[in-house]
Amino acid sequence: MHLLSIRLLSLGVTLLAPLSLAAAEPISPIFAPTDIDNHKAEIGKQLFFDPRLSKSGFLSCNSCHNLSMGGADNLTSSVGHGWHQGPINSPTVLNSAYNLAQFWDGRAADLQEQAAGPIANPGEMAQPHAVALEVIASIPGYVDSFTVAYGDESITLDRVTDAIAEFERTLVTPNSRFDQWLLGDKAALTSVEVEGYTLFKNSGCVACHSGPAVGAALYQKVGLIKPYVTDNRAQGRFAVTGNESDRMVFKVPTLRNIELTYPYFHDGSVNTLEEAVQIMGEIQLGRSFSDLETGQIVAFLKTLTGDQPNFPLPHLPPSTPATPQPNPYGA
Ligand code: HEC
Ligand code: HEC
Could you tell me the domains of the chain?
Answer: 2-30+175-302 (1.10.760.10), 38-169 (1.10.760.10)
Q: Is the CB of 256 under 6 A from ligand 2?
A: no
Per-residue pLDDT of the chain (331 residues; tens, 9 = 90+): 344 443 444 444 444 444 444 358 999 999 999 999 999 999 999 999 999 999 999 999 999 999 999 999 999 999 999 999 999 999 999 999 999 999 999 999 999 999 999 999 999 999 999 999 999 999 999 999 999 999 999 999 999 999 999 999 999 999 999 999 999 999 999 999 999 999 999 999 999 999 999 999 999 999 999 999 999 999 999 999 999 999 999 999 999 999 999 999 999 999 999 999 999 999 999 999 999 999 999 999 999 999 999 999 999 999 999 999 999 998 7
Q: Check if 124 is active-site.
A: yes
Pocket (CB within 6 angstroms of ligand 1): 59, 61, 63-65, 78, 80, 86, 88, 90-91, 93, 96, 99, 102-104, 111, 114-115, 118-119, 124-125, 164, 168
- Check residue 300 and give its pLDDT: 99
Q: Ligand 2 mean position to 254 CA, how many Å?
A: 9
- Check residue 14 and give its pLDDT: 44
Considering every ligand atom shown, identify the ligand nearest to the alpha carbon of residue 73 and give its number. Answer: 1
- Check residue 6 and give its pLDDT: 39
Cα distance between residue 154 and residue 162, in whole Å? 13
- Check residue 23 and give its pLDDT: 56
- Check residue 176 and give its pLDDT: 98
3-state secondary structure the chain: CHHHHHHHHCCCCCCCHHHHCCCCCCCCCCCCCCCCCHHHHHHHHHHHHCHHHCCCCCCCHHHHCECCCCCECCCCCCEEHHHEECCCCCCCCCCHHHCCCECCCCCECCHHHHHHHHHHCCCCCCCCHHHHHHHHHCCHHHHHHHHHHHCCCCCCHHHHHHHHHHHHHCCCCCCCHHHHHHCCCHHHCCHHHHHHHHHHHHCCHHHCCCCCCCCCCCEEECCCCCCCCCCCCCCECHHHHCCHHHCCEEECCCCCCCCCCCCECCCCCECCHHHHHHHHHHHHHCCCCCHHHHHHHHHHHHCCCCCCCCCCCCCCCCCCCCCCCCCCCCC
List 124, 193, 195, 293, catalytic entry = 124
Record the pTM.
Answer: 0.94
Out of 93, 222, 232, 254, give the residue to mutate to test ligand 1, the one with the largest number of ligand atoms within 8 Å of its CB.
93
Q: Is the CB of 284 under 6 A from ligand 2?
A: yes
- Check residue 15 and give its pLDDT: 46
- Check residue 331 and give its pLDDT: 75
Out of 64, 110, 218, give the residue to mutate to test ligand 1, the one with the largest number of ligand atoms within 8 Å of its CB.
64
